Structure 1
Amino acid sequence: MNLEERKLMQKAQKAGQFTDFAFLCKGTKIPVHKVIICAQSKVFNAACTSGFKEAISGVYDLSEYPLELVEMMVDYFYLGYYEDPRADVSKVSLSTHLSMLALADKYAIRGLEPHSKLWFIHRLNQKNTELKEFLDSLPVLDKMPISVSRDVVEEAVYYTRETLLTCTYFLKEVMLSIMSTPVASRCSDCSKSGPPFSITLELAGGPSEEEN
């Protein structure tokens, strides 16, 4: 199907026309067509064609996920994307892209995995992406199997290296914090051997203890 035909199918889906299955998320039912979701997901295909309760009820409960994620997944099923590929800037957060990648892996959604990876990398390399957004996405990335996240991890490592190398003040503060912390508070073995002591790091361009 071309994009216009996909949009017509999505319009029918949103209107509930000829739908024969539904996703349930936190009390909200999202009607879908089996032929659309089963052709792209091995998991949903099995749920619809086997003796599972979902095949009998016609409803698959996805309430463990935010409604926004489920709606984006359905958008992908019908349009082939959850964020317009013609857009120059990604408006979806890094954490959300990773959550979509996790959905793709869990439900074996063909095509969604490379799509979400591509958008994560695109968002990561945008000039307006803040370091905090990247740091917030790391717990999501950490929970994913490396077989799925390897490409994304490599990009994240590269981004971290490049960001830290250009942020010397941040590096200085981190090193000062580490080196001025009593060793005993960081090492249980050291705390048993005697009173705590600290090491002060003198960085080039910074004041030493004697100067203070």
Structure 2
Amino acid sequence: MACDPLRLGVGKLLNDTKLSHFTVRCGTREWAAHKLVLCVQSEYFDCAIHGDFKESRENLIELHEDDPEIVSYMMQWLYANYYRISGRPRTSSLYPDIHVRVYELADKYLLHELKDLASRTIAMPDESLR
């Protein structure tokens, strides 16, 4: 399957500090992010970034209540339109739970396409989700 050149280019931007102007922080993890990528895919991030909030003034959003592992899957999806669960065998009892948690995070941050992807894969997990 051919990949859209724009999507490939955007995928390379995650954590590229040369062009980023926003930071997503969760626990001890940080991601160099781009307002455009966050805002066009999430009304939540759009409001936080463009509203009269601390996040818009500091160019930083802190996701205190979330699990850094699950946020990493969200960030991967925002830039590449897929997320890959690594370091866990598919036979692990935790594997389906990860997709449920991705679904919940997507719902929280109004990422409808990620929510749809996670819901489709809860019952039939795969190493690479596209």
TM-score, length of structure 1 as denominator length? 0.51
Q: Deviations over 1:124-176 (max 9, x none)?
A: xx8xxxxxxxxxxxxxxxxxxxxxxxxxxxxxxxxxxxxxxxxxxxxxxxxxx
Q: Deviations over 1:155-205 (max 9, x none)?
A: xxxxxxxxxxxxxxxxxxxxxxxxxxxxxxxxxxxxxxxxxxxxxxxxxxx
Q: Tell me the distance in 2 between the aligned counterparts of 1:111 and 1:62.
A: 20
Per the alignment, residue 84 of structure 2 pairs with 83
Structure 2: any 5+ residue segments left out of the alignment? none
Length, aligned pairs only: 119
TM-score, length of structure 2 as denominator length? 0.80
Q: Tell me the distance in 2 between the aligned counterparts of 1:62 and 1:10.
A: 22
**Identity over aligned residues, as a percent?**
24
Greater strand share, structure number: 2
SS at match of 1:116: helix
Q: Tell me the distance in 1 between the aligned counterparts of 2:69 and 2:79.
A: 16
Per the alignment, residue 26 of structure 2 pairs with 25
What's the RMSD between the two structures over aligned residues?
2.3
SS at match of 1:111: helix
1:90–1:119 Cα contact (<8 Å) kept: no
Q: State the Cα distance separating 1:28 from its structure 2 match.
A: 2.3
SS at match of 1:14: coil
Within-5 A mapping of 1:63-82:
63-82=64-83
Aligned letter for 2:20?
T
Q: Tell me the distance in 1 between the aligned counterparts of 2:76 and 2:114.
A: 11
Structure having greater relative contact order (Cα 8 Å, sep ≥ 6): 2
Q: Which has the larger radius of gyration?
A: 1
